[in-house]
C-alpha cells in the first residue's frame, strides 16, 4: 500500500543507454526513487550515468531472463516501469536477427508477463519506434498508420508493440507505447549516424582523420533531441487513461543535410570529406520517415524545444570536448611518465 509522502518509485530498463540516462535525470528531478536494471558486462558501460549513479538503485537483470525481471519488480515495487532496453541498432539486427527478436521483441513479453504477475498496478511504458512504419504507407505517419517494418529490428519492435497493446486490452494493465521517431544527443551511441558524423566533423577539424565513410546519404529522418523525447515518455504515464502516442518533430532532413550542418559548424565543407561506402548501405530500409505528433501536442501538451541544427552543433561541440579531454589526459600521462611520477 502507498504511504502518504512515500516517494514515487520508477523502474527503468536500459538505464545505461541514451534515453535511460536522460529519463533518469528527469525522474530524479521530479523526486522519484529510481531503480535501474543493468545487465552484466565484463567492462561496465556506465559513462552516461556519471551525473546520477550514486542516487539510483541498480538491479542486475536481463530482458532474456524472466526470473531477473520478476526479482527487479519485487525489489523496486515500482509505480512506473519504463522499458527502454533493447538491441537498438538496425544494422546489427540484420546480422543477429534471432537475438534481436529474443531481446527487443520477446524480452518485452517477458517483462509484461512479470508485471502482470507481480506488479499489475504499475504503469508501463514501452519504447516503440518509427522503424515499425518502415515502408510507410502515408506521410506523415501517425498513430493510425499501418506498420510495414523493413528490418528485423522493426519486426521485433512490432511484436513488442502489439504485446503491449494486448496486455492493456486483455488484462486492463496501464500500458502505453510511445512511437518515437529518431532522437539524438551527445549521449548517442557511436555507431548511429548523427554521432558518427558529429565525431568525424570534430576529428577532421582537429586533423585527426580526413575522410568519413557513410552509406545512404539520401535517407531522410525526423530527428529530435532525446532530452525532449523522454519528457513525452513521462507525460504518457501521467494521463488518466493509457494510450499510444507518436512523438516526432514533424520535420525531415536527409543524411546529406546532417553532414552539411555538422561540417559547417567547424568551418569545413562536407563534400570535401564524405565518401560513400556500400558496406554501410542496408539491405532494405525506411527511406523517409516523418511523424505527426499532433495527438501528443493536444493531449499531453508536448512539443519539441531543441532544433535540429542546435542539436547537431551541440553534438559536434561535445565530441570535440571529449577529444580535447582525451588528448589533455594523454599529454598529462606522457608528462608524468617522462618525469617518472
- Do 36 and 78 meet the contact criterion of CB atoms below 8 Å apart? no
Burial of 334 (0-12, 13-18, 19+ CB in 10 A): exposed
Asked if 195 interacts with ligand NAP (CB under 6 A), we say no
- How far is residue 193 CA from its own chain's centroid? 13
Catalytic entry in 22, 32, 125, 153: 153
Which of the stretches 36-44, 135-143, 288-296, 307-315 binds ligand NAP when contact is defined by CB under 6 A?
36-44
Binding-site string for ligand NAP from residue 47 to residue 66, where x marks contact by CB under 6 A and - marks none: ---------------xxx--
Alpha helix positions (H), the chain: 18-29, 66-76, 90-95, 97-100, 107-118, 152-171, 193-205, 226-236, 255-265, 294-295, 308-338
SS3 109: helix
Strands 175-180 and 123-129: parallel
Q: Which does 306 bind (CB under 5 to 8 A by kind): ligand G4F, ligand NAP, none?
A: none
Q: Which does 84 bind (CB under 5 to 8 A by kind): ligand NAP, ligand G4F, none?
A: ligand NAP
Catalytic entry in 131, 285, 313, 314: 131
| 131 annotated active-site | yes
| 129 annotated active-site | yes
Residue 209 backbone dihedrals phi, psi, to 5 degrees? -155, 170
What are the C-alpha distances in Å from 61 to residues 19, 58, 127? 18, 9, 18
Q: Looking at 32, 125, 174, 181, which residue binds ligand G4F (CB under 6 A)?
A: 181
- Cβ closer to ligand NAP: 90 or 200? 90
Minimum CB separation of residue 4 from ligand NAP in Å reads 34
Would you name the residues annotated as active-site residues? 129, 131, 153
Q: Which residues bind ligand G4F (CB under 6 A)?
A: 88, 90, 129-131, 181-182, 191-193, 196, 214-216, 219, 221, 255, 280, 282, 285, 289
Q: Which residues bind ligand NAP (CB under 6 A)?
A: 13-14, 16-20, 37, 39, 41, 45, 62-64, 84-88, 103, 127, 129, 180, 182-183, 189
Amino acid at each position: 500500500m502507498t504511504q502518504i509522502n512515500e516517494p514515487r518509485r520508477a523502474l527503468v530498463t536500459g538505464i545505461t543507454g541514451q534515453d535511460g540516462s536522460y529519463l533518469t535525470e528527469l525522474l530524479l528531478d521530479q523526486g522519484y526513487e529510481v531503480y535501474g536494471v543493468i545487465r552484466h558486462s565484463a567492462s561496465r558501460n556506465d559513462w552516461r550515468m556519471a551525473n546520477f549513479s550514486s542516487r539510483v538503485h541498480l538491479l542486475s537483470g536481463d530482458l532474456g531472463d524472466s526470473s531477473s525481471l520478476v526479482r527487479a519488480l519485487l525489489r523496486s515495487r515500482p509505480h512506473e516501469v519504463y522499458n527502454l532496453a533493447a538491441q537498438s541498432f538496425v544494422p546489427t539486427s540484420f546480422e543477429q536477427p534471432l537475438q534481436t527478436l529474443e531481446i527487443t521483441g520477446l524480452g518485452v513479453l517477458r517483462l509484461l508477463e512479470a508485471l502482470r504477475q507481480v506488479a499489475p498496478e504499475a504503469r508501463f511504458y514501452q519504447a516503440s519506434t518509427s522503424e515499425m512504419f518502415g515502408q510507410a504507407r502515408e506521410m506523415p505517419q501517425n498513430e493510425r498508420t499501418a506498420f510495414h517494418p523493413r528490418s528485423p529490428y522493426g519486426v521485433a519492435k512490432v511484436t513488442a508493440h502489439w504485446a503491449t497493446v494486448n496486455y492493456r486490452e486483455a488484462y486492463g494493465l496501464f500500458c502505453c507505447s510511445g512511437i518515437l521517431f529518431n532522437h539524438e544527443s551527445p549521449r548517442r551511441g557511436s555507431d548511429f549516424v548523427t554521432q558518427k558524423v558529429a565525431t568525424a566533423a570534430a576529428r577532421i577539424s582537429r586533423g585527426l582523420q580526413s575522410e568519413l565513410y557513410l552509406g545512404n546519404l539520401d535517407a531522410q529522418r525526423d530527428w529530435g533531441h532525446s532530452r525532449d523525447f523522454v519528457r513525452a515518455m513521462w507525460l504518457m504515464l501521467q494521463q488518466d487513461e493509457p494510450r499510444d502516442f507518436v512523438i516526432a518533430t514533424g520535420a525531415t532532413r536527409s543524411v546529406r543535410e546532417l553532414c552539411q550542418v555538422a561540417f559547417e559548424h567547424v568551418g569545413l565543407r562536407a563534400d570535401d570529406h564524405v565518401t560513400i561506402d556500400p558496406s554501410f548501405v542496408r539491405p532494405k530500409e525506411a527511406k523517409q520517415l516523418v511523424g505527426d505528433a499532433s495527438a501528443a501536442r493536444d493531449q499531453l501538451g508536448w512539443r519539441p524545444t531543441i532544433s535540429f541544427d542546435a542539436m547537431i552543433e551541440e553534438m559536434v561541440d561535445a565530441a570535440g570536448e571529449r577529444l580535447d579531454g582525451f588528448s589533455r589526459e594523454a599529454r598529462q600521462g606522457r608528462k608524468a611518465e617522462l618525469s617518472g611520477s
